[in-house]
Structure formats: structure tokens, C-alpha cells
């Protein structure tokens, strides 16, 4: 049998660990690989990477390429591009995924140019499917569907590439579900000696200074927010919201009443005196909807209100009004999301 | 400090901030005729960065380069109004439908014709695609270093330039030798306004295609003032391989598009029953709100 070409993931290192986005990509890559019956492969470049495979293998990675050298950290375009190019040229994968991060959006286009292949930016949905090319009268099977918001977010476009492979995509942070396959998954490790691949030419750009902010709460950037009000009832009950936010790839927020009651940290407060947010989806659980709160979230594209009170003011601006107990509704949302999401 | 030769890459883009229902053609490509056009916002920041260097290093020459349909000559005129020394337009129907790979090939063919440069700057990304790919792809094809997301030029000398980059989670200061390519972040200074004197000097600047309508007054003016003729480069002028440009040179194709359902005014009222909640989750997934 002809061995299927692999699905490949470029892993980023953040604070000496595999970045969150890369873990998401490994899971997304694994799902594609399983649909294709193909192996999942990954590469990671950095410094002091001893034992890094233990953070990557569990996602079901069959082969991992590691280049461990002090010159590879912090990230610089040219050395990372040269290493990735050599590996991808030799391994000849069918799909390569990068994070749509400062690093991924810098590296992937340069690589796409080197490999003379297509690259779709900022995808939010990945799938496998077929395409019939009329001009050639030919059906191409098992292509990557790289689906992304386009045109200022007013449409979703499905981008394909049938003839200039590999098919590459950058993927937005926080949209792909993380899924551990097996803690003891057997991964073949291949160590790359950076010095054998790279030359002085690859190091002409020097990093003089670097200030990376601790990744803290980022309500503003989060596409999905699950927010709770006084109606949540207790600090412990906020775990219900956290569970839903985690699985949807969102953040947890709270109304002023919930913050004042000590249910949630003040840096997660949404509203006039907190953060103003414009997420794609805002889930308000046990929030009555005082103006002080709605002023900070009414521009959300989609609002779901969960409240015992059918006449809660927030219901007036909600797209979905669920009248009921959040202790019942939130677990059901998780359950049906798990059952229906790709 | 020796004077620099800077090329600014700028694009005219449909104003995606004001999109109507007929903005896309059935084949998924942009229906440009239905949209107003603007100077891509990040590219204006790149223009300012170049003009700022010109202020700091006397004798520096700034050339603005754009690729697009005839209407994109507006970009060249806008560049003149704000203070560039030269403008070049790459325009040919055969370049149409290009994705980022084909676009970067085309632009690089143009840059190679210009040949002499120290620094190339462009916006981080264009609002019609938000890909941020053409800059790095040009740098690769020219085999020069790239410095993306530049916020400020901190220093330079005869051989290298030092810039601060704005990353999603912080900032980074880097040095790069010349020649190099920089993409400029929207957090950098806004572009200066038009200069009245320049508007007077260049308002009749036209490409030769624009002159085809045959305006005798303009023709006479162009003979007298050659600086008003905007150079216009075709496939042949930049010696482009026909298989690497336009749709043929573009690996990525739009298979289909679907519109995103906007916020409804009316609420759907649900109970906490399993069927109601599962129905809602399915709708949210279908409309790509979650998933």
C-alpha cells in the first residue's frame, strides 16, 4: 500500500513550553490525519528542549523533528525558515499547519514562497473534502478545506489548493479543540543538528531586546466570552462557566455584581467600569442586564442569555433567551457541543 | 549617513469596512466594481515610515510601487501628494486573480527592474485579505531578510537598521543589515497629510492607459512636464513568466463562500429542555459562531 503523505505541524515554544496554539494545532492536525489515514508529524525548534517531546507525543504525533540550539531562541525568521524548509522538502507532507500568531504569520508565508505552494491565512475551520476541477475534468480527492472569515468578517470562504502542494494554513488561536490521544503515544524522535543546516547568512538579523508580557486575561481579544452575574450564586458555581468557556475556547467574565460578591476576579469584569468587549459570542449566565453591564458587551455579534427570570432586561438584546437554571443549561450546552462539534 | 533608496509597497483595496450584499461574485472573487476603494491603511503607515526616514536622512529617495487595475493609479498620486519622489504602477489584465504567491512574484519582478534599493517597506497586511503574506514572500524571493510588524525605526547607520517590532504579546528590538524588507504595524505613527504644493504639482499625473481617452490639454501638459507621466509596467515590461502570474500562478482558489448570519433583532426564546439546547448548539455550529 502506498503510504499516505503526512500532516505536519510547526510547534512554537513559549516560556520553554509548547505554546497553547501549537497544542491546538496538533489536535486539529491529528483529526485531519485520522480522516486521511495519514501519519501526524511535527517540528519544534528552540533552546533547552530536553524532554519537550513529552508535551507533544500525547497528541498522537508519529514523528517529531527537534532542533535544539541556543541560536534558535528567541525565534528569528531566517534560521527557523531554513530548518523548516529542509525538513518539509525531505518529508514532503500533504498538509502543514502553523499558528496564526506573530511567529506563524511571519514564518509561514516565507516558507510558502520557498516551497512555491499555497497558504491560507487565519483559518478557523479545517476539514477534508473533494473538488472537481471543470477545466481539467478531474476530481481531486482528500483536499484540505481551509475555511476562514473573509472580507472584514462578513463571509466565510473555503480555500482549497489542488495542484501546488503542500497545502498550508495558519490557524487562529483558541478555535481548535485540544485533545490528548494517549499519554504514552509512541513518537519517533529525529534530532536535527542546526549547525549542519544553517550558515552565518541565516543569523544576520539580531534580536537586541525583548519584552514579552505575561499572557494574562485577554477578554478583549477573546472571540467567545462566558460571563456570569450575581445569579450564578457562588464562586464554586463559576466552574460551570469555566468549563463551558474552556471547551469553546473562550474566556470567563463577570458582571460588577459578581465581582463585588467575590465570585470572580475584578480583572475579568465586563461593563462600563470594567472591560468593553465585542466577541463573536457572548453567553450571559445569571446576569440581569443593568446598563452598566450591557454598555460593555452589547456589540457582541451573538448574545445568549440564560436566566431564571423570563423578564430579565438583558433578554431584550439577546439572540437566544433560555429561561431556566444555569446549573442545568450549562452542562447541557457542553454535552451537546461535544456531540455535535467536528 | 548615506542617503537610502526606499521602495514603498502600497495597495488600493476595497473598503471592507463598508461591505454591501453584492460585494462578492458567484465565483467567490471580489466584485471590485461594487465597492469604494481606499489606500490600504497599513500601507499608509509604511509610507509614513519611509517619509520619516527621508526627513532624517537628506537625499533619501522614496519610490512608491503599486500593483492593480488602472484605478490604482490613485495610490501613486496619493504618494506624490504626501511626498514620494517616484511612482511606478504594475498593471495588466493578465495579473488579475492573483493570490499572495502570484502577487509576490509579480511585485518582485517589478522590484528587480528597479534593481537598486536599500529598504522595502509595506503595510503589515491589507484589509481585503488580512493575510500579511506578500511582504515575507517578497523578501524570500529577493533573498533578503524580513522584519515584520515594525512600529518604529530606532536607529540606522550605513550598514544596518534597528527597529522595534510590535508582537501580539510584547515588543522586540532587532537589527537587520541592508537591504531588507519591513512590514509596518498599524501601531506606528499615522501618515502625514497631503502637502498642498505637491497636490498642485502632481494632480494631473496619469498613466499612459489613463491618457488613452485623449485629452488634448493633458497631453500637451504631459509633453511639457514629463514628471506627470506615471510609468506603467506590463507583463512584458517586468519579464514575468505567464505561468506564475494571475489565476494560473495562484495555488489557492476559493471553493465556496457563505455569508455569516448577522445578529437577529428578535430573540429566540428557549426552555432548558434537551431538544431546545441541542437545537441551539447545532445552529451556532452551523453558523460558525462556535466550532
| pLDDT per position as a tens digit, A147-181 | 987 775 557 899 999 999 999 999 987 778 889 99
Asked if residue A240 and residue A176 are part of one domain, the reply reads no
B176 reaches A (C-beta below 8 A): yes
The CA distance from A203 to the nearest CA of chain B, in Å, is 10
Residue B264, pLDDT > 50, answer no
The string of pLDDT tens digits covering residues B202-253 is 999 999 999 988 889 999 999 999 999 999 999 999 999 999 999 999 999 9
Q: Is residue A217 part of a domain?
A: no
Q: Which of B62, B256, B271 is nearest to A127 (CA)?
A: B256
Q: Which of residues 181-200 of B touch A (CB under 8 A)?
A: none
What CATH number is given to the structural domain containing A13?
Answer: 3.40.50.620
Chain A hits for B122, CB-CB cut-off 8 Å, are none
Separation of alpha carbons A43 and A10, rounded Å:
5
Q: Which residue of B has its CA nearest to A316?
A: B267
Same domain, A191 and A53: yes
Q: Which of B127, B135, B252 sits opposite A120 (nearest CB)?
A: B252
Size of interface A-B (CB pairs under 8 A): 235
The rounded Cα B290 to chain-centroid distance in angstroms is 32
A208 found inside a domain: no
B254, A158: Cβ pair inside 8 Å? yes
CB-based contact A177:A43 (threshold 8 Å): no
Please name the residues in contact with B192: beta carbons below 8 A apart, sequence gap of 6 or more.
B48, B51, B82, B83
Note whether residue A82 is domain-resident.
yes
Query: What is d(CA A21, CA A27) in angstroms, rounded to the nearest whole number?
Result: 10
At A314, which CATH number?
3.40.50.1220
Closest CA to B277 of A334, A301, A249: A334
**DSSP notation for A136-202:** TTEEEEEEEEEEEEETTTTEEEEEE-SSSSSEEEEE-TT-SPP----TT---EEEEE-HHHH--GGG
Q: Tell me the angle at which helices B134-142 and A104-115 cross, rounded to the nearest 10 degrees.
A: 50
Question: Last residue of a domain, which of A174, A203, A232?
Answer: A203
Q: Torsion angle of alpha carbons B272, B276, B282, B284, nearest 10°?
A: -60
Of the candidates A326, A108, A245, A28, the residue with the CA atom closest to the CA atom of residue B252 = A108
Q: Give mean pLDDT, residues A306-332.
A: 93
Residues A199 and A229 in one domain: no
Which residue shows C-alpha cell 489565476? B247
Give me the mean pLDDT over the A42-55 stretch.
97
Query: Given this model, what pLDDT does residue B263 score?
Result: 42
Check whether residue A120 and residue A35 sit in a common domain: yes
pLDDT for B262 equals 38
Does the structure show a pLDDT above 50 at B145?
yes
Query: Cell digits for A123?
Result: 483559518
Q: For residue A246, what are the domain limits?
A: 224-340
Residue A89 counted as domain residue: yes
Query: A297 and A187, same structural domain?
Result: no
Considering only alpha carbons, which residue of chain B is nearest residue A300?
B263
Is A109 in contact with B23 (Cβ distance < 8 A)?
no
Share of chain A above pLDDT 90, in %: 73
* Domain co-membership, A174 together with A268: no
The single residue listed with the C-alpha cell 497636490 is: B199
- Local confidence band at A1 (pLDDT 50, 70, 90 cut-offs): very low
**CA angle (A166 as vertex; B103, A170 as ends), nearest 5:** 70
Across A288-307, average pLDDT: 86
Averaged pLDDT, B78-99: 97
Q: Do B270 and A320 touch (CB under 8 A)?
A: yes
> Same domain for A82 and A158?
yes
Band of pLDDT at residue A313, cut at 50, 70 and 90: confident
Note the pLDDT tens digit of each residue in A70-123. Answer: 999 999 999 999 999 999 999 999 999 999 999 999 999 999 999 999 999 999
* Residues forming a β-bridge with B99: none
Question: How large is the average pLDDT for residues A278-303?
Answer: 88
Domain limit, last residue, from A142, A172, A203: A203
The domain limits of chain B are: 5-244, 260-291
**Closest residue in B to A135 (Cα–Cα):** B248
Confidence of residue A289 (pLDDT cuts 50, 70, 90): confident
Looking at the structure, tell me whether residues A269 and A169 fall in a common domain.
no
pLDDT number for residue A39: 98
* Residues A336, B172: C-beta atoms closer than 8 Å: no
Residue A212 domain flag: no
Q: Are residues A21 and A90 in the same domain?
A: yes
**Candidates 3.40.1260.10, 3.40.50.620, 3.30.365.10, 3.30.1780.10; correct CATH number of B5-244?**
3.40.50.620
What is d(CA B274, CA A318) in angstroms, rounded to the nearest whole number? 20
Please check whether residues A316 and A177 belong to one and the same domain.
Answer: no
B 114-143 near A (Cβ less than 8 A): 127-137, 139-141
What average pLDDT does this structure show over A197-202? 96
In a domain, A213, yes or no: no
CB contact under 8 A, B284 and A281: yes
Are A152 and A242 in the same domain?
no
- Same structural domain, A138 and A64: yes
Q: What is the pLDDT of residues B17-57, one digit of tens each?
A: 555 556 666 655 667 677 789 999 999 999 999 999 999 99
- Which of A110, A118, A305 is nearest residue B252 as measured by Cβ atoms? A118
Q: What is the ipTM of this complex?
A: 0.87
First vs last C-alpha separation in chain B: 55
pLDDT at residue B257 tops 70? yes
> What are the residue ranges of helices labelled H in B192-289?
196-202, 216-224, 274-286
Amino acid at each position: 500500500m502506498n503510504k499516505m503523505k503526512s500532516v505536519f505541524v510547526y510547534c512554537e515554544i513559549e516560556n520553554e513550553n509548547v505554546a497553547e496554539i501549537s497544542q491546538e494545532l496538533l489536535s486539529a492536525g491529528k483529526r485531519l490525519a485520522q480522516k486521511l489515514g495519514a501519519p501526524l508529524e511535527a517540528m519544534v525548534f528552540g533552546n533547552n528542549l530536553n524532554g519537550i517531546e513529552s508535551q507533544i507525543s500525547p497528541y498522537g504525533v508519529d514523528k517529531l523533528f527537534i532542533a535544539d540550539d541556543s541560536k534558535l531562541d528567541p525565534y528569528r525568521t531566517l534560521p527557523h525558515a531554513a530548518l523548516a524548509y529542509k525538513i518539509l522538502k525531505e518529508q514532503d507532507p500533504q498538509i502543514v499547519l502553523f499558528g496564526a500568531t506573530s511567529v506563524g504569520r511571519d514564518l509561514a508565508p516565507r516558507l510558502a514562497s520557498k516551497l512555491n505552494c499555497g497558504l491560507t491565512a487565519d483559518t478557523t475551520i479545517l476539514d477534508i473534502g473533494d473538488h472537481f476541477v471543470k477545466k481539467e475534468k478531474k476530481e481531486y480527492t482528500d483536499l484540505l478545506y481551509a475555511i476562514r472569515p473573509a472580507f472584514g468578517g462578513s463571509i466565510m470562504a473555503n480555500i482549497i489548493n489542488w495542484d501546488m502542494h503542500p497545502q498550508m494554513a495558519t490557524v487562529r488561536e483558541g478555535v481548535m479543540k485540544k485533545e490528548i490521544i494517549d499519554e504514552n503515544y509512541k513518537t519517533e524522535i529525529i534530532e536535527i543538528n542546526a549547525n549542519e543546516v544553517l550558515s552565518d547568512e541565516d543569523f544576520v538579523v539580531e534580536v537586541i531586546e525583548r519584552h514579552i508580557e505575561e499572557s494574562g486575561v485577554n477578554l478583549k481579544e477573546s472571540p467567545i466570552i462566558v460571563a456570569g452575574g450575581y445569579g450564578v450564586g457562588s464562586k464554586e458555581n463559576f466552574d460551570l462557566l469555566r468549563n463551558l468557556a474552556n471547551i469553546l475556547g473562550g474566556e470567563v467574565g463577570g458582571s460588577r455584581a459578581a465581582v463585588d460578591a467575590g465570585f470572580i476576579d475584578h480583572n475579568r469584569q465586563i461593563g462600563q467600569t470594567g472591560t468593553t468587549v465585542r466577541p463573536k459570542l457572548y453567553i450571559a449566565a445569571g446576569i440581569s442586564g443593568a446598563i452598566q453591564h450591557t454598555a460593555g458587551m452589547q456589540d457582541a455579534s451573538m448574545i445568549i442569555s440564560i436566566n431564571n427570570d423570563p423578564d430579565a432586561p438583558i433578554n431584550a438584546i439577546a439572540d437566544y433567551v433560555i429561561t431556566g437554571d444555569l446549573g442545568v443549561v450549562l452542562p447541557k450546552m457542553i454535552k451537546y457541543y461535544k456531540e455535535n462539534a467536528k | 549617513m548615506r542617503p537610502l533608496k526606499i521602495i514603498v509597497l502600497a495597495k488600493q483595496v476595497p473598503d471592507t469596512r463598508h461591505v454591501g450584499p453584492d460585494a462578492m461574485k458567484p465565483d467567490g472573487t471580489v466584485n471590485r466594481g461594487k465597492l469604494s476603494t481606499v489606500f490600504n491603511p497599513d500601507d499608509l503607515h509604511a509610507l509614513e515610515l519611509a517619509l520619516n526616514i527621508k526627513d532624517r536622512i537628506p537625499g533619501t529617495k522614496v519610490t512608491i510601487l503599486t500593483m492593480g487595475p488602472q484605478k490604482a493609479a490613485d495610490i501613486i498620486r496619493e504618494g506624490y501628494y504626501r511626498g514620494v519622489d517616484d511612482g511606478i504602477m504594475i498593471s495588466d489584465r493578465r495579473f488579475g486573480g492573483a493570490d499572495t504567491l502570484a502577487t509576490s512574484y509579480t511585485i518582485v519582478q517589478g522590484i528587480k527592474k528597479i534593481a537598486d534599493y536599500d529598504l522595502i517597506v509595506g503595510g503589515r497586511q491589507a484589509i481585503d485579505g488580512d493575510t500579511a503574506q506578500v511582504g515575507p514572500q517578497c523578501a524570500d524571493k529577493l533573498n533578503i531578510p524580513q522584519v515584520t510588524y515594525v512600529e518604529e525605526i530606532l536607529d540606522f547607520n550605513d550598514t544596518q537598521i534597528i527597529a522595534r517590532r510590535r508582537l501580539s504579546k510584547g515588543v522586540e528590538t532587532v537589527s537587520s543589515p541592508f537591504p531588507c524588507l519591513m512590514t509596518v504595524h498599524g501601531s506606528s505613527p499615522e501618515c502625514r497629510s497631503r502637502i498642498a504644493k505637491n497636490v498642485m504639482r502632481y494632480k494631473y499625473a496619469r498613466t499612459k492607459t489613463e491618457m488613452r481617452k485623449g485629452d488634448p490639454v493633458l497631453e500637451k501638459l504631459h509633453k511639457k512636464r514629463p514628471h506627470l507621466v506615471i510609468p506603467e509596467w506590463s507583463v512584458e515590461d517586468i519579464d514575468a513568466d505567464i505561468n506564475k502570474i494571475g489565476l494560473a500562478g495562484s495555488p489557492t482558489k476559493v471553493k465556496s463562500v457563505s455569508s455569516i448570519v448577522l445578529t437577529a433583532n428578535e430573540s429566540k426564546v428557549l426552555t432548558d429542555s434537551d431538544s431546545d439546547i441541542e437545537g441551539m448548539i447545532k445552529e451556532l455550529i452551523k453558523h460558525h459562531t462556535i466550532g
